[in-house]
Amino acid sequence: MTAPANGVRLGNGAPLLDVRDLVVHHGQLRALSSISLQVYPGEVYAIIGANGAGKSTLLRTIAGLHHPTDGAIVYDGRDVTSLRPEKRATAGIVMVPEGRRLFPSLTLEENLKVGATYARKGPWTIERVYDLFPWMKERRGQRTAQMSGGEQQSVAIGRALVANPRVLLLDELSLGLAPVIVQRIYGMLPQILESGVTVLLVEQDVSQALRVATHLQCLLEGNSTLEGRPADVTAAQVEAAYFGMGTVAQEVQADHIEGGEA
Q: Kindly list the residues in this chain that would bind ligand ATP in the complex (CB under 6 A).
A: 26, 29, 31, 49, 51-57, 204
Report, in Å, the least distance between residue 31 CB and ligand ATP.
Answer: 4
Helix (H) or strand (E) segment spanning residue 105: none
Say if CB 177 and CB 149 are below 8 A apart: yes
By beta-carbon proximity to ligand ATP, the closer residue of 101 and 128 is 101
Report, in Å, the least distance between residue 166 CB and ligand ATP.
Answer: 23
Torsion from C-alpha of 171, 46, 50, 239, nearest 10 degrees = 160
Say if CB 44 and CB 58 are below 8 A apart: no
131 burial (CB, 10 Å; 0-12 / 13-18 / 19+) is exposed
Q: Which residues contact 233 (CB under 8 A, 6 or more apart)?
A: 216, 226, 252, 257, 260, 262
By beta-carbon proximity to ligand ATP, the closer residue of 57 and 217 is 57
By beta-carbon proximity to ligand ATP, the closer residue of 142 and 204 is 204
Report, in Å, the least distance between residue 7 CB and ligand ATP.
Answer: 29
By beta-carbon proximity to ligand ATP, the closer residue of 149 and 196 is 149
Torsion from C-alpha of 253, 255, 258, 262, nearest 10 degrees = 40
Report, in Å, the least distance between residue 46 CB and ligand ATP.
Answer: 13
- Report the DSSP beta bridge partners of residue 14: none
Report, in Å, the least distance between residue 26 CB and ligand ATP.
Answer: 3
By beta-carbon proximity to ligand ATP, the closer residue of 57 and 223 is 57
